[in-house]
Chains A and B, each alone.
Chain A
Amino acid sequence: MTSSLLQRREVVSDLLQDRGDTLVVTGLGSPSYDVMAAGDNDLNYYLWGAMGGAAMLGFGLAKAKPDHSVLVITGDGEMLMAMGAFATIAVQCPNNLTLVILDNGHYGETGMQRSHTGHGIELNKVAASVGFDWTARITDKTGVEDLRHRVHARDALNCATIAIDAVDVERVLPSRDGVYIKNRMKRALGQKL
């Protein structure tokens, strides 16, 4: 059976094409595996826990590194645990931050229970309602390519939900050593350890 829905691995790989010095933060579970599958990079910060922390971690990074694009790639379940973060981030409106929510409407890591977005809640509309500069729900490859350019433009606070197929894909595991992942990003950014 073929699906017309976007496939998560392809979406993330396309989004990270020619990423340059973009800093990437991933929410726990499948988004971490998707970003790892697209190619490990010193400028990736993978979360394996701290659910609800991805957007705020990317936000802090964006404020400290205004000359870099910061891309948060997370899932609908992880972002649902950080509803307040939409408001906190919108107040500051950093123009180098993009939140990408890979939305399959389910909690994939725990056995594909339906999430709030699976019941019709649209997180991009939440972002729009609090004042993000640009928001969208993306359902095709053209939309992903447009989003990729917006990540690099650094002229707006962006939030996109990308509707993806709710299928299990092979896990590609990044390191779970948080200190190692932290230190290699800091070293890549030229900081003293």
Chain B
Amino acid sequence: MSANTSIDWKSQVYDVLKEYNVKHMVYVPDAGHSTAIQKFEADDQVTSVVLTTEEEGIPYLAGAHLGGERGVLLMQSSGVGNCINMLSLQSNSRFPLLMLITMRGDWAEFNQWQNPMGQAAEAALNLMGVLTWRADEPQQVEALIRGAATMAFEGDQACAVLLGQKLIGKKDWIK
């Protein structure tokens, strides 16, 4: 337990992506990504772009790639459905695409409205040709992001790492 809790996976997301020379971070916010979003927003070597919907991130990153630069899309599982047809851009042109997706409707979800998309997210991505990996433990995160980033940026694949609710922790929702 102490080994797990000593791993700061939320900071590792930023550190690993920096190592892979990511220059663009586009996102629809989620609490699970808040550390990475803050670090990227404070980094003047990276363009951080807040999106109105997740699908905007796919053509944005395609354009950045045409311009010779790497990027990442941070989003929540509820946004997977918003991306489906836009993923045809990636598959037709083989643009590298790296998505980090925090899960809802996955485990200990208090709001059942999150469940339909959360439960379908990974299968929906796979149907559109996106390769997926799941992290449920802190020690899995760094290696899975490295693997996905390698396959996206070196092999022009669409890759998504799903960050499970067991990893993020049960959402406290007390107001």
Interface, chain A (partner B; CB < 8 A): 23, 25, 45, 47-54, 56-65, 82, 84-85, 87-88, 91-92, 178-179, 181-182, 185-186, 189, 191
Per a CB cutoff under 8 Å, which of A63, A84, A182 touches B93?
A: A182
Per a CB cutoff under 8 Å, which of A51, A60, A92, A191 touches B62?
A: A60
Shortest CB-to-CB span from B72 to chain A, Å, is: 12
Contacts A50-B85, A54-B59 given; does A64 touch B94 at CB 8 Å: no
Chain B interface, number of residues (Cβ within 8 angstroms): 32
Interface, chain B (partner A; CB < 8 A): 23-24, 47, 49-53, 55-69, 71, 85-86, 88-89, 92-95
Which of B61, B86, B89 has the largest number of chain A CB atoms within 10 A?
B89
Contacts A91-B50, A182-B94 given; does A52 touch B63 at CB 8 Å: no
Contacts A64-B66, A88-B51, A182-B95 given; does A57 touch B86 at CB 8 Å: no
Closest to A49 in B: B88
Contacts of A49 in B (CB 8 A): 85, 88-89, 92
Per a CB cutoff under 8 Å, which of A50, A54, A186 touches B88?
A: A50
Contacts A60-B24, A88-B51, A91-B50 given; does A182 touch B59 at CB 8 Å: no
Contact B58 A182 (CB under 8 A): no
Contact B59 A50 (CB under 8 A): yes
Contacts A88-B50, A179-B94, A182-B93 given; does A60 touch B85 at CB 8 Å: no
Shortest CB-to-CB span from B94 to chain A, Å, is: 5
Contacts of A47 in B (CB 8 A): 89
Per a CB cutoff under 8 Å, which of A50, A179, A182 touches B66?
A: A182
Contact A88 B66 (CB under 8 A): no
Contact A85 B67 (CB under 8 A): no
Contacts of A178 in B (CB 8 A): 89, 92-94
Contact B86 A62 (CB under 8 A): no
Contact B68 A189 (CB under 8 A): yes
Shortest CB-to-CB span from B144 to chain A, Å, is: 25
Contact B52 A181 (CB under 8 A): no
Contact B56 A56 (CB under 8 A): yes
Contact B63 A56 (CB under 8 A): yes
Contact A92 B59 (CB under 8 A): no
Contact B23 A64 (CB under 8 A): yes
Contacts A52-B55, A84-B53, A88-B56 given; does A60 touch B63 at CB 8 Å: yes
Q: Tell me the complex Cα distance, A54–B59, Å.
A: 7
Contacts of B49 in A (CB 8 A): 63, 88, 91-92
Contact B93 A59 (CB under 8 A): no
7 tightest Cβ-Cβ pairs between the two chains A and B: A64-B67, A60-B63, A84-B52, A178-B93, A53-B59, A61-B63, A178-B92
Q: Tell me the complex Cα distance, A92–B26, Å.
A: 12
Shortest CB-to-CB span from A95 to chain B, Å, is: 14
Contact A181 B67 (CB under 8 A): no
Closest to B63 in A: A60
Contact A53 B58 (CB under 8 A): yes
